[in-house]
Amino acid sequence: MLKTSEQTLDPADWQDFRQQGHAMLDDMFDYIENLRDRPVWQAASDETRQVFRQPLPVQAGDLGAAHETFMREVLPYAIGNAHPGFMGWVHGGGTPVGMLAEMLAAGLNANLGGRNQMPVEVERQMVRWVRELFGFPETAGGLFVTGTSMANFISVLVARTAALGRAVREEGLADGHRLTAYASVSGHVSIAQALEMAGIGTAALRRIPVNALHQIDTGALERAIAADQAAGLIPFFIAATAGTVDVGAIDPLAAIADIARRERVWFHVDGAFGALGKLAADIAPLLQGMERADSIAFDFHKWGQVPYDAGFVLVRDGALQRGTFASPAAYLHRETHGMAADSPWPCDFGPDLSRSFRALKTWFTLQVYGADKLGQVISHTCALARYLRQRVEATPELELLAPVALNIVCFRYRGADANTLNAALVVALQESGIAAPSATTLNGQIAIRAAIVNHRTTAADIDALVDATLTFAAVLQGKPHSYRETR
């Protein structure tokens, strides 16, 4: 008989552990409840960063001490997307419900690669709900992933199988250079990365110009496809966008669907945040044609307010998706009973075998808040964007740089050397802790970009952004100024 001391990692005193756990939970409740008492963002000092540049700990430490380090050195210096004043990028604000659900998932510690377990059934329920939301057939495949970048990659691989057959999994891309893909110049960088990782290469990506509304020019798209066909190439993938990164534009999805069907090209929608506009009564009509897509990629952790990460890919032909990824490996053998039963498994629809229980926090979010409430939040963020547009248009010193399609507003402060001034303005706003927009470039002009995603954001936060912009612009130009903090 083996003689050894117990090597468990469970606590020696569960009562003390419970007390510490409750304290940690209360601290996070306090953090969320009192977000407005904090700056949106603040930079960590070199001294703070040094805390995490220490050697590997060899001996055991104290949970309470680790918790104190987190509260002192990490929590105050996050990017701030939970704060209502955060408008830098399209990051959701998260919810207390999502936080608790993530705790439950971590405690359960289920691997959602597959096997006969109820957590997989929760993900299947989510797949059914997503099919219902987007009007896809029951045969469609769906999968939680890290985010839209991975969802785009999976979609490219399934489209590659559709174009070249399943033999491409074994034979590779001997003729891969013949495939061509299409996205607008405003399309996300992950489309190009997906082509790289799929072995097709970015030279195969045709960047199509956009119109005045920053939507893909469908005439130019048709001409590019025709030119490639005439050259003996194989157009295989069109990536439309529902909510572009810079300005939130929605490509003409129905027109692209017509082109894709006529030319027999895979129609993909990168709807990282915009796709969930289907939940909002006033936004859903703008997404007409998305229901005809061959695949949709989007994130629940953006407009869905689910804590990071919770991306999703939906593929119309679930059998083709499974044929792109399912493996005959012995350790993935299926049975009719026991733990290896209940096929197919999530790992049959994507590249990951080790998968977290992302479906649980998403299921909780929908169960507790409901689709209607989430849709109302989405509509609210778009209404706030329109309010910001009105403030910009009513302020002589400010200039709108792009149409406001959804929840993103790009504007700038007018003046000499405007690019230098507006780049400095963005940094000044961020470092002030009052508001946190980001910067982008539109037609050579540096824009202050406000992406309004957080369910906590109000009109007062929009006013604070505009007022602070005017104040810091005056400061940077050495002009008299006055600013009344509205945060």
Q: What is the DSSP string of 114-130?
A: -SS-HHHHHHHHHHHHH
Angstrom distance (rounded) from CA 272 to CA 90: 9
Q: Which is higher by pLDDT, 6 or 452?
A: 452
> Is domain 16-41+78-94+371-487 in CATH 3.90.1150.170, yes or no?
yes
Angstrom distance (rounded) from CA 30 to CA 305: 19
Angstrom distance (rounded) from CA 116 to CA 440: 47
Buried-state track 102-126, b at ≥16 Cβ within 10 A, e below 16:
beebeeeebbbbbbbeebbebbeeb
Q: Is residue 486 scored above 70 in pLDDT?
A: no
Residue 410 — very low, low, confident or very high, per pLDDT cuts 50/70/90? very high
Looking at residue 344, its pLDDT comes to: 96
Alpha-carbon distance values, 11 to 3, 138, 170, 271 (Å): 22, 46, 49, 44
CATH number attached to the domain at 112-356: 3.40.640.10
- Return the residue matching tokens 């507003």: 409
Quick count: other Cβ atoms within 10 Å of Cβ 130?
23
Residue 485 — very low, low, confident or very high, per pLDDT cuts 50/70/90? very low
Looking at residue 177, its pLDDT comes to: 66
Q: Considering the chain, tell me which residue range(s) the CATH 3.40.640.10 domain(s) occupy.
A: 112-356
Q: Cis check for the bond before 309: say yes or no (omega within 30 of 0).
A: yes
Looking at residue 175, its pLDDT comes to: 65
Q: What share of the chain is helix, strand, coil (3-state, %, to 5)?
A: 45, 15, 40
Q: Is residue 16 scored above 60 in pLDDT?
A: yes
Angstrom distance (rounded) from CA 89 to CA 27: 26
> What average pLDDT does this structure show over 213-227?
99
Q: Are 472 and 464 in contact (CB under 8 A)?
A: no
Can you read off the two tokens belonging to residue 361? Answer: 């926090």
Q: Considering the chain, tell me which residue range(s) the CATH 3.90.1150.170 domain(s) occupy.
A: 16-41+78-94+371-487
Angstrom distance (rounded) from CA 242 to CA 278: 11
Looking at residue 387, its pLDDT comes to: 99
Alpha-carbon distance values, 243 to 214, 278, 389, 485 (Å): 10, 12, 17, 32
The predicted model scores a pTM of: 0.96
Looking at residue 4, its pLDDT comes to: 72
Looking at residue 366, its pLDDT comes to: 99
Angstrom distance (rounded) from CA 401 to CA 413: 10
**Span 376-398, pLDDT tens digits:** 999 999 999 999 999 999 999 99
**Span 31-70, pLDDT tens digits:** 999 999 999 999 999 999 999 999 999 999 999 999 999 9
Q: Are 52 and 66 in contact (CB under 8 A)?
A: no
